[in-house]
Chain A
Amino acid sequence: MKTLMLGDHAVAQGAYEAGVKVAAAYPGTPSTEITECMATFKEVNAEWSVNEKVSMEVGIGAAMAGKRALVAMKHVGLNVAADPLFTFSYTGLNAGLVVAVADDPGMHSSQNEQDSRYYAQSAHVPMLEPADSQEARDFTMLAYELSEKYDTPVFLRLTTRIAHSRSFVEIGERKEVELPYKQDIQKYVMVPANAKKRHPIVEEREKKLSNDINGNVFEGKINKIEYGSNKIGIVCSGAVYQYVKEALPDFSIFKLGMVYPIAVENIREFASKCEKLIVVEELEPFIENTLKANGIKCSGKDLTGLQGELSVQKIRETILGQKPLPELTQNLPGRPPVMCAGCTHRGVFYIINKLKLNVVGDIGCYSLGCSPPLNAMHSLICMGASISNAHGMFQAKGKEFSKTNIAVIGDSTFIHSGITGLIDAVYNKSNITVIIMDNRTTGMTGHQNHPGTGLTIKGEPTHTLDLSEISRACGVQNVSVIDPYNLAEIENAIKESLKADSVSVIIAKRPCVLLDKSIQRKAITISDCKKCGLCLKIGCPALSKCKDNSVEVDATLCTGCMVCAGTCKSGAIK
């Protein structure tokens, strides 16, 4: 039976049918739903790992032991996981390992637009790229066959429009795969002497796969050629194939299912049958540069550019020279994402602003603290960077500067890669203040559990990591735990911490308002408003300014957190 399936779920379905036993990931849009779906299968040991590097190592362990494994991450997560992967490419494996990586052209939910295909090239790991949910399922299953046949981990590359689109998928039954664990020191112990012997094997493997993909070994299951008009031939892959099919239905198309290694010889032959060859790809000119390096004349990025996503219309405009469609209605008030009414982060940012501090930020819902009216975040680089960035500022500018500077990081992000920065700061005699915005969940990606919540991905009780204990164990002497709904408490804790001569950690602890079943939702009332507008400075979506400058509350949104009441000098909010 056919099922309408999200691309991410189709990857999980394929892995399930391929007999995958172990699935590990750290949540990251648009890849999160892969592992959430894996957790629904009783045969699969799924886990939220503390970060992508750990998840990769868990997957590697499983594959060495003899069970198929799936590791999933977003593009930037692959930066974190790259270290073990590059060496596992040398050792090869026992049972198959597939690394699903989701790129985000257009940055719907990311801090950059990096192109994961370069990782495939530099780690010498083959990469498949599906073009819809059915292929996401099929290619995942195929990736396990390739992984074991060629003794290599295999990438499955998604983009947002594949990961988060639904289309129909024909599914099948699960087949178990069990391989015996075999010790092999020369294969698995990558000391230099052994690694030197493995490197030529990697090169040979890649040559063989390259020959096979150019030959007829895969019987058209991976790359597909659709001949049409010989005027222009298009080379494309993934979601872009769908746009090309719709925008240029009469052209000849070479659809790459394997984007690394690229079937250069097949494309050379295809190109010889077309008057002109155009590569249509999102992000970097990865395919284009490979073809050019192999002496195949083509155009690509000179037409489509490097920025953002492609679309049917953009292809019509850039390849066919069609006129752009009229713009959407302009000059409308924007609707950027905001922290929810009752968000536990809001009060902390309000106090930080009151104390006029510089904020070194991190990745999570609290990143929204950068938006008006709070404007309370002054840098944001990557997961876990806040603490080490703040320490770097201390190293550069000294103690006085540190008294005006604060690092803000979420609980899940702290566990992901903030702890190492904290150890570093203490070890190197820093004087930074860190606020851990502990809302007891991984918020932005949709409420996933983590080691601090005391629950596994499957909701089973487990050890709860105590963030104050771990901060103390890192050597932090000033650790305080406060309620982020209590403005006076926040202000006091920050002032005290800034006075201290060593590293301070403030844990602003309260469950995310969307998850907290214990709170009594009783909307505030406003009477005798003095129209000063102070309460609007916290940026709560439940409050809005009326024509006469008084403030009104939307009782359907208000959760009664009373943070606004703490800002009101006339006691009008009750």
Chain B
Amino acid sequence: MNFNILIAGVGGQGTLLASKIFGNYAQLIGKDCKVSEVHGMAQRGGSVVTYVRIADKVYSPLFDKKQADVVLAFEELEALRSAGYVKDGGIIVINKQNIYPMPCALGLAEYPSDIYEQLAEYKATVRKIDAISIATKLNNIRTVNIAMLGFCAAVLGLKKEVFVDAIKRSVGEATLEVNLKAFEGGFTIFSS
């Protein structure tokens, strides 16, 4: 299975860890993988995108618009901003969260109220997940990213056991248990 994943979010939401886990997943299934990240300036609460490519052989670490099998969006406005990356027939997975960017917070621009209507114009399936409630139930808001990943793995029909191995390789021992629970939470929400 070859795929491109665009992870879109707001700096500080934990998108980097999610991409690292995808990388380890690729290795476990014997595929080539490249991940392109954004560090520095863009991380200070700005829009952040990470590209993940998994295939037999990956050249460019980046891909272009209309080439993502999945856009994994950690925030609704960022989902819309990056929706042009999804390919026809692809999937947009969205965490149901609104983070107001500065122009909206100041009342200079309006946070769009018709995000899902606009997303419907893309030839893609839109899947929503309330990852915050999963993370809140686990008493660890920082597991939102892993809950998202669980949901995404289920949506894509990826092998759960392999993903669990990939998580074990990617996170520290102290947070492993809660991260695995978050993954399970995201995975089962889709399955149920």
Contacts and interface: CB of A to CB of B under 8 A. Distances in A.
B60 A311 contact: yes
B70 interface: no
Among B26, B65, B82, B83, find the residue whose CB has the most chain A CB atoms closer than 10 A: B65
B59 A242 contact: yes
B174 interface: no
Contact of A312 (B64, B102, B106): B64
A332 interface: yes
Contacts, number: 171
Nearest to A545: B107
B66 interface: yes
Nearest to B33: A4
Given A337-B11, A544-B104, A326 B44 contact: no
Contacts of B38: 108, 164
A367 to B, nearest CB: 8
Contacts of A166: 19-20, 23, 33-37
Contact of B66 (A132, A168, A326, A338): A326
Interface string A241-254: 01101100000000
A556 interface: yes
Interface string A473-504: 00000000000000000000000000000000
Interface residues on B, range: 35 or more
Contact of A165 (B61, B82, B103): B61
Contact of B40 (A30, A168, A539): A30
Nearest to A131: B59
Given A30-B40, A333-B111, A340-B44, A243 B60 contact: yes
Interface string B33-52: 11111111111111100000
Interface in A514-545: 533, 536, 539, 541, 543-545
Contact of B61 (A167, A325, A329, A373): A167
Given A109-B40, A336-B102, A327 B46 contact: no
Contacts of B100: 541, 544
Given A332-B77, A333-B77, A335-B10, A539 B102 contact: yes
Given A334-B101, A444-B41, A545-B105, A328 B84 contact: yes
Nearest to A7: B61
A445 interface: yes
A108 B40 contact: yes
B27 A371 contact: no
Contacts of A318: none
Contacts of B64: 311-313, 325
A470 B137 CA distance: 51
Contact of B27 (A4, A312, A339, A372): A4
Contact of B45 (A329, A333, A337, A556): A337
Nearest to B23: A4
Given A334-B103, A338-B44, 20 more contacts: A4-B24, A4-B33, A30-B40, A243-B60, A311-B60, A311-B62, A328-B82, A328-B84, A332-B80, A333-B101, A333-B104, A333-B111, A335-B45, A335-B102, A337-B11, A365-B44, A372-B102, A372-B106, A372-B108, A444-B41
27 contacts: A29-B39, A132-B34, A161-B36, A165-B35, A166-B19, A166-B20, A167-B35, A168-B32, A311-B62, A313-B64, A325-B66, A328-B83, A328-B85, A329-B80, A329-B118, A338-B102, A372-B108, A444-B44, A533-B107, A539-B106, A541-B45, A541-B102, A541-B105, A544-B104, A544-B106, A549-B107, A556-B141
